[in-house]
Chain A
Amino acid sequence: MSTAASPAKAGHSGAEGTDAGTTVIQDSTCTFCGCVCDDIDITVKDNHIVDAKRACVLGKAWFYNHHADDRPSCLIEGRPASVAEGVERAARILTEAKYPIIYGLSDTTSEAQRVAVGIGDTIGGTVDTTTSVCHGPSGMAFQDVGEVTCTLGEVANRGDLIIFWGGNPAESHPRHFSKYSLMPKGMFVPNGRKDRTAVGVDVRKTKTAKAMDLFFQIKPRSDFEALWTLRALAKGIDIDPEQVKNDTGIELSRWQDLMVRMKAAKFGVILFGMGLTMTRGKHLNSEALLCLVRDMNAFTRFVAKPMRGHGNVTGADNVVTWQTGYPFGVNMSRGYPRFNPGEYTTSDTLARREADAALLIACDPMANFSQPAREWLKSIPYIALDPKDTPTTRSATVAFTTATYGINTPGTVYRMDDVPIYLRPAFPSSHPSDFDVLSAIQRRVAELKT
């Protein structure tokens, strides 16, 4: 049986010469958000990162706050234990469970994700990722109508009309503007920002909105109506101006002006956020946007891209898909993969009190999930892997403190546009990696199952 390669074997030395006990690693990768900036020069001094050149405010917080801490690598019911004891307890919980769930995975390497899906297969569990409460609805929309998209370099080299819809990258993806979408001087937009028109659509006048040339402050929860208005205009259908104003809070004439610009653009881009996926309408909001972008390709080139949040959430989608055929919310209790969002997704299996054990990797449902889901999770045995102390690790039956991917461990991550990028660790950790812990659990559950 094929097991994931140990990232360790594939470690690239990124060290670029040391002096006075400091090491500089060039073109290191920040895995905090979906931008996955791989141009960070980090300076390490006795296992602390003292400088992270080109990192944004989120990236600096990421690099400066993941130093080796002295918490125990494993806690069982809050008491320090050896990793081996933790692995044994974890394996027993998972193999005894009748409806175990494996969840999270968006902040770890794809090498670790591959092992986690293998565990789910062996125990007949349900594997889900944070995608289901992020852009899962966009993934469902993709399954209904498809998606026209591209890598971020295409946006940088060609994009002349950039629309940010229902997201606030200025705060959630701070370098997206400068690195990919607005500022870069690209092959067909040599003057960078001057050659691009930036449009914002949101219900709040956010930092992002203020960086736009045009801003459409729509009525809350009217994204679908706004997108439908644009689809109608793209097709040249006459629609009632009063209803448009009423539905969207924006004059029809402004939507018409936007459509003129969209058709005149050479390469249009819509980057959309969770304002669509988390608001009433959810996947059908995303579907409306993907349909609009497809429609636009009858007139010019147009692409869409969901702004993915976590450093390797895109890798989680890819790994779960290539191993099971489905991107998230995959149930294997019958011995083969099944997919059905709303049935096998974690918010549901917890809120409906179906799950009887959980393996949580690099995620914090105890902070982010609905109240009913959190209450049920608290009542079942679960295992948590995280470099940090979180509400989830604090209530875990078995909590592993793991090394931080990209800072302590090498491996592969996938940027929001599916581009795979390799990680160069800065310094070793006293804690095991997610890959190591999960591999040990996989070996043990395989033994217990046979």
Chain B
Amino acid sequence: MSERFILIPGRTSKQGCGVSEGKFDDGYQNEINTLQVAPADMKRMGLANGDRVRVTTESGRQIDVAVTAATGDELPPGLLFIAYGDLSSRLMDGETHGSGMPTSKGFDVTMEKLG
């Protein structure tokens, strides 16, 4: 079963270091390929670190990604976070609303646990 969330991609220092260390190195790849979920949401959806989920946007863009529990109270329940990278870009539409800037944070998404 899937639940509704708001997803916020953003910078992290690990992702920032990865840009210099090399985008094909493990450090960067792990950082941008991990979805952070609030501990309460992990618990409720029966998710453990490393489990894979499917995230789908309102316009139907979709990624499958591994989850990890956000540290402490960094994320409130209902919010997801992922470091900028290939996966976050896969969820972005081309539309910029006459601004040049595609909506890149605060996506309405559904998340479901994969098998």
Q: Is the interface of B mostly helix, strand, loop or mixed?
A: loop
Residues facing A in B61-115 (CB within 8 A) are 61, 72-76, 79, 81, 84-86, 89-90, 92-106
Which residue of A has the minimal Cβ distance to B32? A367
Q: A193 interface residue, CB < 8 Å from B? A: no
CA of A329 to CA of B103, assembled, Å: 17
A137-B99, A204-B75, A348-B96 in contact; A171/B13 too (CB < 8 A)? yes
Which of A136, A221, A388 is within 8 Å of B100, CB to CB?
A136
Q: A157 interface residue, CB < 8 Å from B? A: no
Residues facing B in A272-286 (CB within 8 A) are 274-275, 277-280, 282-283
Q: A374 interface residue, CB < 8 Å from B? A: yes
Nearest-CB distance from B91 to chain A (Å)?
8
**A contact residues, total (Cβ < 8 Å):** 60
Q: Which residues of B sit under 8 angstroms from A345, Cβ to Cβ?
A: 96, 99-101
CA of A352 to CA of B94, assembled, Å: 8
CA of A347 to CA of B95, assembled, Å: 8
Q: Mark A304-346, 1 if CB is under 8 A from B, else 0.
A: 0000010000000000000000001100000000000111011
Q: Which residues of A sit under 8 angstroms from B40, Cβ to Cβ?
A: none
Q: Which residues of B sit under 8 angstroms from A57, Cβ to Cβ?
A: 13, 17
Q: Which residues of B sit under 8 angstroms from A370, Cβ to Cβ?
A: 89, 92-94, 102
Enumerate chain B interface residues (CB-CB to A < 8 A).
6, 8, 10-13, 16-17, 19-24, 61, 72-76, 79, 81, 84-86, 89-90, 92-106
Q: Known pairs A341-B99, A347-B94, A347-B102; list 8 more (Cβ under 8 Å).
A: A65-B22, A172-B16, A203-B76, A206-B74, A341-B101, A348-B96, A367-B89, A371-B94
Pairs of residues from A and B, 8 with the lowest C-beta to C-beta distance, nearest first: A351-B94, A345-B100, A342-B98, A61-B17, A372-B94, A370-B92, A341-B100, A278-B104
